[in-house]
């Protein structure tokens, strides 16, 4: 009724021996060729060393008979095997050996394979394969065979260890990076065993792992990055890559040049300052409550009062500044910068102190003018006797008897300083001391009488 092969005689009570055709290790390789009468032939393909075992035939009849061949049959598998060290370091010398339990003749020639491809240059009567100064390119799966036979040994992995090299960084997406984008940095490293990766920005470790992801990138993430690849054989850094994050203008403000007090007729220069990448190249100036721009360029000359603001532009966007206020006051331009957020930046007291100082200066000038007028009147009231005192004696005896300023007076202190002075010169002969004293006394009496008559004169005598 049923026939099958098994590889054990042990079973639990009320259980059946395991059928090899139901075993996953055999089901694809096992084929029953016999019948249910006398032939119990079975074929097992692609045998390996693990197939070496004792096998038993089992059959069940319709008469409640269950039989098993207790002696069984022994399957012995001989195989070619490659003996190789598990791990070698780049630069070492490695010797691979093709080992077989079969009795081979001295004339047997061995064929070597790497990654299932024959190494045609390596056909030796010796069963060894010598690799001198191995390289990473020598890594792979090695197997051997005997020439003239179809059987090839199982493959053995040759693992050549080496430190990291060819370390590089790739950026995704490539091209322009704008603030808010997601950016991925990938560290590429050739190493065996696989390396541990760390990410460095400007000398500081900022991450680990082969992939470094930055979501919603900002300008603070701009800078130079590199990855370090480390394994037990050594370490190596990648070249530096630069993340240049673009962003629209921000922190836009207006700065005023000058002292804050501008003479009427001059202009006030306003400068537009912004932070952007790339730097803003286009600037527009506006006056509040006016729809169109009143100027362009980073600097703007304000010729009239009002509230002004600037707008900075680059290819990623624009932003406007807070407004500033320009005041013009009677001969002076007083500039007050007012932020929209509130607060005065220039105190008006500077202007008040300036006005007080000018008033004190005007008062002092008026007082000086009055004193000069009094002095002029006194000078005019004192005159020399019309008749010459004596005949001229010598030019060296010239005396100034009177000083008369021109009656034209300037309207300002500056013009008064330049008014014309006329000198009247009287020459006389030397006289005796007595006569000179008498003449001086007479002159003094006349001067005194004339000055007393004019109550405004403050000089009592002229000597």
For 10-21, the pLDDT digits (tens) are 877 778 888 888
User: Percentage of residues in the chain with pLDDT exceeding 70?
Assistant: 67
| CB neighbourhood size of 239 (10 A) | 9
Report the distance separating Cα 454 and Cα 446, nearest Å.
Answer: 13
Q: Is the pTM of this model over 0.75?
A: no
Domains of the chain by range and CATH? 2-75 (no CATH), 80-154 (2.60.40.10), 161-243 (2.60.40.10), 248-346 (2.60.40.10), 363-453 (no CATH)
Which single residue is written with the structure tokens 């997406």?
173
CA angle 15, 19, 21 (to 5 degrees): 155
Q: What pairing do the DSSP bridges indicate for beta strands 399-405 and 421-426?
A: antiparallel
CA angle 239, 241, 245 (to 5 degrees): 175
Who wins on pLDDT, 298 or 442? 298
**344-350 contacts, C-beta under 8 A, 24 or more apart:** 346/260, 350/260, 350/261
User: Which are the contacts of 149, defined by CB distance < 8 A and separation ≥ 6?
Assistant: none
The three-state secondary structure class of 211 is strand
pLDDT of residue 128: 85
* Cis peptide bond upstream of 416, omega within 30: no
Report the distance separating Cα 277 and Cα 223, nearest Å.
Answer: 13
Q: Is the pLDDT of residue 278 over 50?
A: yes
Who wins on pLDDT, 419 or 351? 351
The three-state secondary structure class of 368 is helix
Who wins on pLDDT, 450 or 443? 443
User: Percentage of residues in the chain with pLDDT exceeding 90?
Assistant: 33
Report the distance separating Cα 130 and Cα 153, nearest Å.
Answer: 18
Query: 211 — phi, psi (to 5°)?
Result: -115, 130
User: Which are the contacts of 350, defined by CB distance < 8 A and separation ≥ 6?
Assistant: 260, 261
| DSSP labels, 35-69 | -SSS---EEE-S--GGG-EEEEEEEE-TTS-EEE-
pLDDT of residue 283: 96
- The mean pLDDT of 205-226, rounded to a whole number, is 94
Which residue in 244, 237, 188, 242 sits closest to 211, CA to CA? 188
- The mean pLDDT of 190-215, rounded to a whole number, is 94
Read off the pLDDT of residues 324-365 as tens digits, 9 standing for 90 and up. 888 766 554 444 443 333 333 344 556 566 666 666 554 545
């Amino acid at each position: 009724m049923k026939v099958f092969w098994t590889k054990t005689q042990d079973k639990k009570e009320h259980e059946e021996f395991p059928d090899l055709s139901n075993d996953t290790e055999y089901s694809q390789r096992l084929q029953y060729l016999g019948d249910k009468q006398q032939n119990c032939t079975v074929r097992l393909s692609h045998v390996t060393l693990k197939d070496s075992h004792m096998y038993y035939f089992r059959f069940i009849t319709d008469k409640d008979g269950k039989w098993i061949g207790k002696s069984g049959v022994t399957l012995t598998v001989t195989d070619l095997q490659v003996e190789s060290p598990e791990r070698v370091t780049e630069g070492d010398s490695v010797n691979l050996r093709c080992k077989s339990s079969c009795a081979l003749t001295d004339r047997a020639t061995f064929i070597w394979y790497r990654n299932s491809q024959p190494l045609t240059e390596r056909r030796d009567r010796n069963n060894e394969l010598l690799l001198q100064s191995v390289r990473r390119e020598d890594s792979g799966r090695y197997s051997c065979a005997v020439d003239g036979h179809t059987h090839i040994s199982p493959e053995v992995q040759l693992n050549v260890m080496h430190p990291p090299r060819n370390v590089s960084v790739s950026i995704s997406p490539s091209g322009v990076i704008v603030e808010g984008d997601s950016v991925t940095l990938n560290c590429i490293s050739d190493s065996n065993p696989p390396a541990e990766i760390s990410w460095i920005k400007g000398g500081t470790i900022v991450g680990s792992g082969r992939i470094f992801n930055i979501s919603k990138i900002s300008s603070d993430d701009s800078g130079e990055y590199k990855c370090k690849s480390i394994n037990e054989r050594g370490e190596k850094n990648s070249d530096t890559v630069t993340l240049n994050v673009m962003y629209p203008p921000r922190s836009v403000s207006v700065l005023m040049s000058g002292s804050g007090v501008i003479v009427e007729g001059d202009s006030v220069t306003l400068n537009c300052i912004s932070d952007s990448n790339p730097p803003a190249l286009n600037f527009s100036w506006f006056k509040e409550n006016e729809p169109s721009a009143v100027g362009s360029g980073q600097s703007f000359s304000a010729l009239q009062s009002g509230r002004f603001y600037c707008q900075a532009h680059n290819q990623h966007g624009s932003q406007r500044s807070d407004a500033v206020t320009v005041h013009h006051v009677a001969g002076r331009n007083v500039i007050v910068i007012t932020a929209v957020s509130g607060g005065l930046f220039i105190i008006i007291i500077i202007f008040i102190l300036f006005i007080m100082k000018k008033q004190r200066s005007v008062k002092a000038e008026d007082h000086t003018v009055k004193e000069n007028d009094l002095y002029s009147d006194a000078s005019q009231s004192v005159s020399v006797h019309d008749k010459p005192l004596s005949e001229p004696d010598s030019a060296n005896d010239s005396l100034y008897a009177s000083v008369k300023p021109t009656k034209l007076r300037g309207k300002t202190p500056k013009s008064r300083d330049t008014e014309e002075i006329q000198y009247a010169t009287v020459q006389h002969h030397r006289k005796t001391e007595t006569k000179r004293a008498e003449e001086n006394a007479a002159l003094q009496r006349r001067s005194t009488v004339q000055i007393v008559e004019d109550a405004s004169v403050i000089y009592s005598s002229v000597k």
